[in-house]
Amino acid sequence: MSATEYERTPAIAEKGYETPLAHDLEAIWESKPGIRGFLSTVDHKEIGIRYLVTSFVFLVLGGIEALVMRLQLAGPNKSLLTPEQYNELFSMHGLTMIFLYALPVLSGFSNYLFPLVLGSRDMAFPRLNAFSYWVYVASGIFMYASLVLGFAPNDGWFSYVPYALKPYNPGPNMDFYALGMIFYGVSTTVGSANFVVTFLRMRAPGMSINRVPILTWGTVTVSFGNLFAVPAVSLAFLMMWADRQFNTHFFTPETGGQPLLWQHLFWMFAHPWVYVVVLPAMGLVSDALPIFCRRPIVGYTVVVLGTITTMVLGFGVWLHHMFATGLPFLALSFFSAASFVITIPSAVAVFAWIATIWTGRPVITTAFLFFAGFIAMFVIGGVSGVMTAAVPADRQLTDTYFVVAHLHYVLIGINLFAVMGALYVWFPKITGRLMSERLGRWNFWLVFVGFNLGFFPMHVTGLMGMPRRIYTYPDGLGWDTLNLITTMGAFVLAIGILLLLINLAISRRGGAPAGPNPWDGPTLEWATPSPPPPYNFPVIPLVASRHPLWEERLGETEAGHSEIHRGPVLADGKEALATTALDAQPDVILKMPEDSYAPFVVTLAMAVAFTGLLLANWWVAGIGGLAILIGSLVWLWPEAALAQKARRPA
Amino acid sequence: MRNARRAIVAGSGMAAALLAAPRPACALGWADFPMNYLTTAGVKERPVVALTWGLMGISIAVIVLISLFVLVGVLRRRNTDVSLPEATRIPVVRPRSGLAWISIGVGVSTVVLLGMMGWTAVTMAKIARPPVDPAVTIEIRARQWWWDARYESGDPTRIVDVANEIHIPVGKAVEFKLQSDDVIHSFWIPALGGKTDVIPGQTNMTWLQAERPGVYRGQCAEYCGKQHGHMGIVVVADVPEDFQAWLDGQISPAREAASQQVAEGRDRFIQRCGACHTVRGTRAGGALGPDLTHLMSRGSLAAATLPNKIAYLSGWIANPQTIKPGAQMPNLEISGPELASIRSYLETLK
C-alpha cells in the first residue's frame, strides 16, 4: 500500500447540531458513563473543567494557609504558630498558589477553550492532555502528603540552599518538594507541548495566525517559555535531591559547591514563570473585555507582539531576584536595564485595554468589573515592580513586605482577577447557566476592597522595614497597626472568594439558561451550544476573519464569509482536521485516539516511582519505573484504527 | 544612650526619638518606624533615598493617572440601563482605531522608564565605593541566629570579636566583609544602607558611613530558618573619640572577679556555659555562641530580641527555647541558685 491510497477529500456539507450526522458524532465522541469514563476520558472539555475545579481546591487550601499566617501576624509577638509551623505554612502557601493554582487554573481555561475557539474537535494530543492533568493532580497530592504527614517543605517556594540541604534540614520535608517539583514539571512540559502543537496545527481552515483569539496567543507563548524554563528547575531540584541523598556537593560550599548556582537555576525558571502565570490571564482579558466594550480590541497585533516580547525578555531578567547577592554592579546594571525595558510591552497591553474601554461602550457586568479592576491592579503591581528594577532601591525593598505586596498585586491582580472575570464570562458556556449578577457584585466588591485593604498597606509595612518570612515581630517598630489592617483585609478577601464559590454552586443548577451566546461574543466557542457536545462542531468551520460571529456587523468580509455550519464532514471514527501552521490551509485528516486508561495508569506508576525515590527504596522506585515503561508501551502501541483509511469501517 | 539602645531592641518606640529626622505634623513620624528606609542617617543611603522617593512619586502618579483613565473610561459611556444579557444587544461597532492611545501611552512610558534607568545607573555609580578609604574594617560572620563581628587590625592584640551590637565611628567609612559558615543570611541596616547577602563559601563586601550619632536597628533579611525572625543587629554610631574608647574597652579582657561570690559564679559559668561562650581572660573559650566578655556593654540580648536587663537575662538563661524556639542555645535545666550565681558573674562583665 502506498501513501496515496489513503488520500481522501472530505465532503463539504451544511450540517447543524440537530442532524443525523451530529447524532453519529455524539456516539463516536462521547466518553463512557460512570467511573470508566471518568478514568479514561480524553475530552478536552472534561479535562479543562477538572483543571479548573482542582486548581480552585488548591486555591482554597492555599488561602486557608494564608489566613492562619495572617492570624499569627495580626499583632506583635503572637504564638499561635511555632516558627517551624509558620515556615511550613508560608512554604506550602507559596508553592500551592504559584504551582498548584496559578498555572493550572489557566491551563483549565486553555484546555476547555483551545479547541472551541480554534474550531477544532480536541487538542492535538488528547491522551497527553489527560496525562498532564493526572500528573498535575498526583504531584499536588504528593506535595500535600508532606503536610498531612507533618513534614511539609519549610524553605519557601524558592528553597535556597544550603538551608534546604541535609545538615540544616534533615527531615524528608525538602525531599517531598524536590521530587514533587520534578514530578509536577512533567505535567507542565507535556501540557505545554500539547498547547504549542494544537495552536500551530489544529486551527479551523482559514484561521490564519493573525486571526486567532489572543487567549491562545497568551497560552502558546508561555507554553514555548515553559519548554525552555522548566528544564532548569527540574535539573535544579534533581541536583538538590542528589545533594541530599547522595552527597553530590553541587551546592555545598565547604566541598567546592556553589550556593549561588541554585539561585541562578531557580530564578532562570522562576522569573519566566511569573509571566507564565500572567500572560494567559492577560490573554483571557484581551478577548473577553472587548465583548463588554462592544468593539474589537484596540491594537490586536501589537498586543500579541507585546505578549511574545514579554516572554522573551522574561528570560533576561532573572538576576533582579539576586541584586543583593554581591554580584558586581556591572553585571547587575544589565539586568536592571532589562527589568525596566520589560515594562514597555506590558504598557502596550494596558493602553490597548484602556483604549478599548474609551472607544467602546462598556456594559457593566460583573465580569467587566473584574477586568476593569484587573487593569488598575495590574498597574499597581507593575509600577512597584519597576521600583525593584532599580538596583540601589531594590537593595532596600527586596525581602521586605514591599515585595510581598508587589507580588500579590501581580498574582492576585493579574491572575485571580482575570480568572474570576473569565469565570463569569465562560461559566455559561461550560454549564449552560448564567452566574448570578447580584451575588457577582458582592463578590467583586468584597474581593476588590478586601484585597486592597489587605495588600496595599503591605507596601508601607515594607517601606517601614518589615522583612519577609518572619514568624513574628516585636512591637515598637511601627508594624503593628499595618499588620492588623492587612489581616482584616485578608479575611474580607476570603469572604469575597467564598461568595464566588457560593455563586458557582448555586448557578450551576439554578442559574438562568444561557443559550449558546449570552454575551454576543465574536469567537467560535459562542457558535456552539452551551454546554458544547463532545465533538464540538458537526462540521469543521471555515473562518474568514478574526471575529467570525461579528464579521458581518463589522464589515470584516474582505476575505469572504466565515461558515460555521458548512464545512468538511469528518465522521469516519474520531477525526479532526490539521491545518498548516501559518495560513491554516487544510493539510491532513487526523485520526484521534479513543479514551484510554493508559494516562491514568502511567501516572499511578510515576507516583509509585517517586514514592520509592522519596523513601530511598530503590526496589519500589524500580518497580514504578518498570510500570511506567510498560504503561507507555501499551499507551503507544500502534493501532490500526488510528491509521488513515479511505472508507468508513463497516 | 544606654536607655535608647535598650529601647530600640524591641521594647518601645521611644528609641525612635533618637533618630533625628524631622517630625511631620501628623501623629506618626518617621521616627516611629526605626527600620524605615525612606529617611536615612547614612552617606551611602542618601542618593538611594532620593531615588526611592523619586521612583515612588512617579509610580503613584502613574497609578493615579491610569486609574483615572479606567474610571472615566468606564463611567463615560457605560450602559447600565439594560438588564443582562440583553445588555449585550448593544450593537457591535468598530469606531476609531484607538491606536493613538497605545503609541502615545507607550511612547511616554518609554521615555519615563529610560529616565528612571539613567537615574538608577547614576545612583549605582555613586554608592559603589565609599568617598574616602575605610577607616575601620569589620568581618561579619552571620550565624543561625546571631551576628559575630570581628574588628580587624594590623596589630593582632587589637583584633576583637563582639556580637550583635556593632559600634562605628561617625563620619568615617566602615568596610564590612560578610561571611557565613552555615546558611545564607543578609546584612541589613536600613537607616544606613541596603542589603548585602551573607553567603557561605564567599566573602561579600559592603560599606556604610553614618552621618550622625545614633542607634540603628538592622535585621537579617534572607530567610535562614526557624529563628530568622529573631536575628536582629544593632549598629551604634559614636563620635570617633567615643568609638575609640568603646573599642579599647572591648579589646581589654574581662575584669577579675572582685569577690568570692563572683568567682563562684565565674566558675559555674565556665563549667555550664564555657563550651559555647568565650569570656576572654577566663577558661571559657567556646566559639559556638556569642563572645560574652563585655556582655553588659550591650543594649540587648539574643540578637536584639530582648532588652539587656537582669530580668530578661535570667529568663533567657533559664529558658532560651521558649523565647527563641529552635535556637542553638539549649535549655540547660539550671537550678535557681545556680542561675543567680551565674547571673551575678555576668553582671560584672561591663
Nearest chain B Cα distance for residue A155, angstroms: 7
Residues of A in contact with B94 (CB under 8 A): 295-296, 554-555
Amino acid letter for position A534? P
Count of positions (residues) in chain A: 650
Do residues B70 and A376 make contact, with C-beta atoms less than 8 angstroms apart?
yes
Q: Where are the domains of chain A?
A: 363-511
CB contact under 8 A, A465 and B58: no
Number of neighbouring beta carbons within 10 Å of residue A456: 17
Asked whether the CA dihedral A239, A241, A247, A249 is positive or negative, the reply is positive
Judged by CB atoms closer than 8 Å, whether chains meet at B87 and A296 is answered as: no
The SS3 assignment for B289 reads coil
Which of A396, A429, A438 best tests the B interface by mutation, with the highest count of B CBs <10 A? A396
pLDDT of residue A634 exceeding 70, the answer is: yes
B141 and B230 housed in the same domain: yes
Q: How many CB atoms lie within 10 A of CB A581?
A: 15
Q: Could you tell me which of B129, B172, B178 has the C-alpha nearest to residue B150?
A: B178
From residue B227, give the alpha-carbon distance in Å to each of A470, A577, B327: 8, 60, 7
Of the candidates A160, A343, A375, the beta carbon closest to that of B223 is on: A160
- Cβ neighbors of A381 (< 8 A, separation 6 or more) are A406, A407, A408, A409, A410, A413, A414
Size of interface A-B (CB pairs under 8 A): 321
Contact present, A425 and A291 (Cβ < 8 Å)? yes
Binary contact (A434, B82; C-beta < 8 A): no
Q: Which three cell numbers stand for residue A521?
A: 461574543
User: Cell 502615545 sits at which residue?
Assistant: B104
Radius of gyration of chain B (CA): 27
Per the CB < 8 A criterion, the answer to whether B143 and B163 are in contact is no
- Specify burial of residue A508 (Cβ count, 10 A radius: 0-12, 13-18, 19+): middle
Q: A454 to each of A228, A484, A634, how far by Cα in Å?
A: 35, 9, 52
pLDDT tier at A160 (50, 70, 90 boundaries)?
A: very high
Assess whether pLDDT exceeds 60 at residue A196: yes
pLDDT < 70 stretches in chain B: 1-27, 80-88
Residues 6+ apart with CB under 8 A from A232: A265, A266, A268, A269
Kindly state the cell numbers that stand for A593: 485516539
**Residue B163 falls inside a structural domain:** yes
Sign, CA dihedral A231-A232-A233-A237, equals positive
Please answer whether residues B175 and B132 qualify as being in contact, where contact means their C-beta atoms are separated by less than 8 angstroms.
no
Contact A492, A412 (CB under 8 A): no
- CA-CA distances (angstroms) from residue B323 to A74, A79, B312? 19, 10, 10
pLDDT beyond 50 at A4: no
Angle formed by the axes of helices A103-118 and A44-72, nearest 10°: 160
Of A393, A473, A475, the CB nearest to B51: A393
Q: Do B215 and B164 fall within a single domain? A: yes
Q: Is the pLDDT of residue A566 over 60?
A: yes
**How many other C-beta atoms are found inside a 10 Å radius of the C-beta of residue B95?**
12
Residues B229 and B278 both lie in one domain: no
Residues in chain B, how many? 350
Q: Is the pLDDT of residue A303 over 50?
A: yes
- Picking from B19, B67, B101, B220 by the largest number of A CB atoms within 10 A of its own CB, the best residue to mutate is B101
Nearest-angstrom CA–CA distance, A109 and A107: 5
Alpha-carbon distance of B250 to B253, in angstroms, equals: 8
Cell of B182: 552555615
Q: Which helix (H) or strand (E) holds A577?
A: strand A575-579
CATH number of the CATH domain containing B212: 2.60.40.420
Q: Inter-chain contact B225–A365, Cβ cutoff 8 Å?
A: no
CB contact under 8 Å between A393 and B52, yes or no, is: yes
Q: Establish if B39 belongs to a structural domain.
A: no
CB A115 within 8 A of CB A137: no
In a domain? residue B226: yes
Q: Do B221 and A398 touch (CB under 8 A)?
A: yes
Closest-CA distance, A401 to chain B, in angstroms, reads: 11
In a domain, B156, yes or no: yes
Residues whose CB is less than 8 angstroms from the CB of residue A241 and which lie 6 or more positions away in sequence, other chains included: A175, A178, A179, A182, A613
Residues B288 and B194 occupy one common structural domain:
no
H, E, C per residue of A176-197: HHHHHHHHHHHHHHHHHHHHHH
Q: Taking a C-beta distance cutoff of 8 angstroms, is the pair A563, A550 a contact? A: no
Residue B48 with chain A: CB contacts under 8 Å: 392-393, 395-396
Q: Is the dihedral of CA A169, A171, A174, A179 positive or negative?
A: positive
Q: Of B69, B70, B64, which Cα lies nearest the Cα of A370?
A: B70
Residues B276 and B236 reside in one and the same domain: no
Looking at B242, B271, B289, which one is the last position of a domain? B242
Strand partners, B285: B278
Strand segments (E) across chain B: 136-143, 146-151, 160-163, 165-169, 174-180, 185-189, 193-198, 204-208, 214-219, 232-238, 300-301, 306-307
For B143, phi and psi rounded to 5 degrees?
-130, 165
Find the domain containing B335 and state its range: 260-347
Which residues from chain B sit within 8 angstroms of residue A168, using beta carbons? 144, 182-183, 225
CB neighbours of residue A498 within 10 Å? 14
> ipTM score here?
0.93
Rounded to whole angstroms, the Cα distance separating A646 from B3 reads 93
Q: Is the separation of the CB atoms in B345 and B262 below 8 Å? A: yes
Minimal CA–CA distance to A379: which of B114, B64, B105, B110? B64
Whether residues B207 and B299 fall in one domain: no
Given this model, what pLDDT does residue A2 score? 41
Give B198's strand partners: B185
Residue reference for cell 542589603:
B195
Q: How many domains does chain B have?
A: 2
- In the block, cell 511506567 appears at A628
**What is the C-alpha to C-alpha distance for residues A282 and A222, in angstroms, rounded to an integer?**
12
Q: Identify whether the C-beta of residue B105 lies closer than 8 Å to the C-beta of residue A346.
A: no
CA distance A467 to A480: 14
Of the candidates A602, A591, A598, the residue with the CA atom closest to the CA atom of residue A127:
A598
pLDDT, mean of residues A338-364: 95
Which element (helix H / strand E) includes A587?
strand A586-591
pLDDT at A649 over 50: no
Residue B75 lies in a domain: no
Quick one: CA dihedral A299, A300, A302, A303, positive or negative?
A: positive
Q: Dihedral of the CA atoms B7, A405, B58, B43 (nearest 10)?
A: 30
Contact yes or no for B35/A399 (Cβ under 8 A) = no
- Of B229, B197, B323, the residue nearest A87 (C-alpha): B229
Q: Return the residue in A82, A298, A427 with the most chain B beta carbons within 10 A, the one to mutate for interface testing.
A: A298
B8 occurs within a structural domain: no
CB atoms inside a 10 Å sphere around CB B76? 11
**A158 within 8 A of A240, measured Cβ to Cβ:** no
Q: How far apart are CA B214 and CA A84, in angstroms?
A: 35
Q: Is B55 contained in some domain?
A: no
CA B36/CA A514 separation, integer angstroms: 54
Using CA atoms, how far apart are residues B173 and B236, in angstroms rounded to an integer?
14
Decide: B304 and B238 in contact? Cβ < 8 Å: no
- Residue B279 and residue B181 in one domain: no
